[in-house]
């Protein structure tokens, strides 16, 4: 972990499950021949770097595990491991299955749509809304709402889910961009991959920071004991970098010190901001997983909000940026703390 002063001028946000370009959205069979530059590379890393596939490394690894990747001639191809080291001239066969229908019904759920045109939506996700359907959450999700709101949406992760390009935790509020067609989906996914999407968060965090700004560079992976949590894992975690700067410091006589912090992501691991701030001793206030067991304020969920979202419009090429204020419960906490500013 490194922590140093200095502002961060650009936000870079990579989703760990990067949404698909053409391959994952439509399926199909692909053949690649490893050139001299590929010699010695891991198979999964090489395939994840191919724009023609548009798949994340974890998606490639899933295909390999399912036996959908082979190396060799069509007549004598063998199923390799993800760690296989390529040789020049290797013929790589990749089969991406067609997307499966989404077994989730449209629901007339109110959406706070900040912007919409024929290609994209920008929505302000409320606290408590799950983005993707999952066991125990097959209704009431953003996907259910989008299926009702839009009728022509792109696929993602092998399943026909309305063009979700990135995501927020259930109790994290704020801005999300949604693709309404495959062209927009591919463009926005590419922007995320190239780290040109601007996403800025604001959080109320415990304690006073030693430096007005800094960087947390610490790999994140599954907690070795509690698999529902993430943790800084130096040996097995994935590269993760969060940049932060302190906007205000407060001292609450009854609850102790707090800080208002802005964060930008250089990577986009699961729970990254929450894990990194807790790692340096400043967990997000009211975080039920990484913060104190007793919440500091009467809010159901962490005080973390995706405030700014900026990207290039996939059709017009115009730079677009949106901003949404924190939700009422979080703003009420900030207003109260402002009376206790240090």
Q: What is the CATH number of the domain that holds 73?
A: 3.10.290.10
Please state the domain count of the chain. Answer: 2
Task: Tell me which of 15, 44, 90, 169 is the catalytic residue.
Answer: 169
- Model pTM score: 0.73
Q: Is residue 283 part of a domain?
A: yes
What pLDDT shows up at residue 48? 85
Please state the rounded mean pLDDT for residues 265-285: 94
The residue from 96, 120, 144 where one domain ends is 96
Q: Is residue 80 part of a domain?
A: yes
Share of the chain above pLDDT 70, in %: 85
User: What's the CA gap between 206 and 193, in Å, rounded?
Assistant: 32
pLDDT tens digit sequence for 204-241: 999 999 999 999 999 998 888 887 899 999 988 889 99
What pLDDT shows up at residue 59? 84
The residue from 68, 96, 124 where one domain ends is 96
Q: Is residue 48 part of a domain?
A: yes
pLDDT tens digit sequence for 74-90: 656 678 899 999 999 99
What pLDDT shows up at residue 75? 59
Q: Is residue 3 part of a domain?
A: no
User: What's the CA gap between 281 and 291, in Å, rounded?
Assistant: 10
pLDDT tens digit sequence for 164-192: 888 899 999 999 999 988 889 889 988 98
CATH of residue 296: 3.30.2350.10
Whole-angstrom CA distances from 25 to 16, 19, 54, 134, 251 are 17, 9, 10, 19, 50
In this predicted structure, the answer to whether residue 113 has a pLDDT above a threshold of 80 is yes
What pLDDT shows up at residue 101? 61
What pLDDT shows up at residue 160? 52
In this predicted structure, the answer to whether residue 43 has a pLDDT above a threshold of 60 is yes
In this predicted structure, the answer to whether residue 269 has a pLDDT above a threshold of 80 is yes
Please state the rounded mean pLDDT for residues 247-263: 96
pLDDT confidence bin for 134, thresholds 50/70/90? confident
Active site includes 13? Answer: no
Q: Is residue 301 part of a domain?
A: yes
Please calculate the CA angle 24-26-28 and round it to the nearest 5 degrees: 85
What pLDDT shows up at residue 79? 80
Q: What range defines the domain where residue 291 resides?
A: 200-306+331-338
User: What's the CA gap between 109 and 130, in Å, rounded?
Assistant: 12
**Mean pLDDT rounded to a whole number for the chain:** 86
User: What's the CA gap between 144 and 126, in Å, rounded?
Assistant: 14
What pLDDT shows up at residue 161? 55
In this predicted structure, the answer to whether residue 10 has a pLDDT above a threshold of 60 is no
**DSSP letter, residue 237:** P
In this predicted structure, the answer to whether residue 314 has a pLDDT above a threshold of 80 is yes
Q: Is residue 154 part of a domain?
A: no
The residue from 47, 63, 96 where one domain ends is 96
Q: Is residue 165 part of a domain?
A: no
Please state the rounded mean pLDDT for residues 255-275: 94
**DSSP letter, residue 274:** H
Please state the rounded mean pLDDT for residues 312-339: 98
What pLDDT shows up at residue 105? 82
Please calculate the CA angle 214-302-290 and round it to the nearest 5 degrees: 70
Please state the rounded mean pLDDT for residues 288-308: 96
What pLDDT shows up at residue 181? 84
């Amino acid at each position: 972990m490194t922590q140093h002063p200095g502002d961060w001028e650009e936000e870079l946000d990579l989703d760990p499950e990067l949404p698909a370009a053409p391959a994952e959205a439509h399926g199909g069979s692909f053949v690649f021949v490893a050139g001299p530059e590929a010699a010695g590379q891991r198979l999964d890393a090489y395939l994840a770097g191919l724009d023609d596939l548009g798949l994340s490394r974890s998606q490639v690894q899933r295909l390999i595990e399912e036996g959908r990747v082979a190396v060799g001639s069509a007549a004598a191809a063998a199923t390799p491991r993800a760690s296989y080291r390529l040789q020049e001239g290797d013929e790589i066969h990749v089969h991406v299955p067609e997307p499966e229908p989404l077994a989730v019904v449209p629901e007339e759920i109110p959406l706070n749509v900040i912007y919409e045109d024929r290609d994209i939506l920008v929505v302000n996700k409320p606290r408590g809304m799950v983005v993707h359907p999952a066991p125990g959450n097959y209704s009431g999700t953003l996907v259910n709402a989008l299926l009702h709101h839009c009728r022509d949406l792109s696929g993602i992760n092998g399943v026909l889910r309305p063009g979700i390009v990135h995501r927020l935790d259930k109790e994290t509020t704020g801005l999300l961009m949604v693709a309404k067609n495959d062209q927009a989906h591919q463009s926005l996914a590419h922007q995320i991959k190239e780290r040109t999407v601007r996403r800025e968060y604001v959080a109320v965090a415990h304690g006073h920071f030693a430096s007005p700004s800094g960087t947390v560079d610490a790999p994140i992976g599954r907690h070795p004991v509690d698999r529902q949590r993430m943790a800084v894992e130096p040996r097995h975690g994935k590269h993760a970098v969060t940049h932060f700067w302190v906007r205000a410091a407060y001292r609450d006589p009854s609850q102790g010190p707090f800080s208002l912090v802005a964060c930008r992501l250089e990577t986009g691991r699961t729970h990254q901001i929450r894990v990194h701030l807790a790692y340096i001793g400043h967990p997000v206030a009211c975080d039920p997983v990484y913060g104190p067991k007793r919440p500091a304020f009467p809010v159901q969920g962490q005080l973390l909000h995706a405030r700014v979202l900026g990207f290039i419009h996939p059709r017009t090429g115009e730079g677009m940026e949106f901003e949404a204020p924190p939700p009422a419960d979080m703003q009420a906490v900030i207003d109260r703390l402002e009376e206790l500013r240090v």
